[in-house]
Amino acid sequence: MTISYTAQVATSSRGFGCFWKLLFRWQGSIYKLVWHELVIYCLAYTTISLIYRLALDDPQRRQFEAVALHIEAFINLIPMAFVLGFYVSIIMTRWWDQYITIPWPDSLAVFVSSNVHGQNDTARVMRRTLMRYVNLSFVITMSMISPRV
């Protein structure tokens, strides 16, 4: 969804703390999508850290450290670069497939020009009218997808 707030940004981007003002004004922000997970992660990390520092005695801390080292030894079994590369490959393939399946008017123009025969004015007007309708339907479809069109 396209949200325009250029006029508001121009007037509120002065002074101390303008970055935070802009960040909270940003309606289409990625932060608004992940803030729940970020808060849960921070709470879990803080809880584990406080338990480790305040509630555990020395033998329990050594046990916790042994578990952490054991987990760290096995974390390298799944190569993260390979997983990330595989993920990016899947995302780019999906994007390219979506791009390829967009019905561009060019192929239909070739089809119309090869099937509407004639060199007279009636055939020429028919080809132009068909292509105008095709372009109009393409623009209407694209404007339903993106309001900026």
**pTM, two decimal places:** 0.44
Q: Tell me the pLDDT band of 67, cut-offs 50, 70 and 90.
A: very high
Cα-Cα end-to-end distance for the chain: 12
Q: How far apart are CA 59 and CA 51, in angstroms?
A: 14
Nearest to 136 by CA among 98, 96, 116, 108: 108
pLDDT, tens digit, for every residue of 70-115? Answer: 988 888 787 888 889 999 999 999 999 988 888 888 888 998 989 9
**For the chain, where are the alpha helices, taking DSSP H only?**
6-12, 18-25, 31-50, 58-74, 80-100, 105-115, 121-145
Is the backbone of residue 10 left (phi > 0), alpha (psi -120 to 50) or beta? Answer: alpha
| pLDDT computed for residue 38 by the predictor | 92
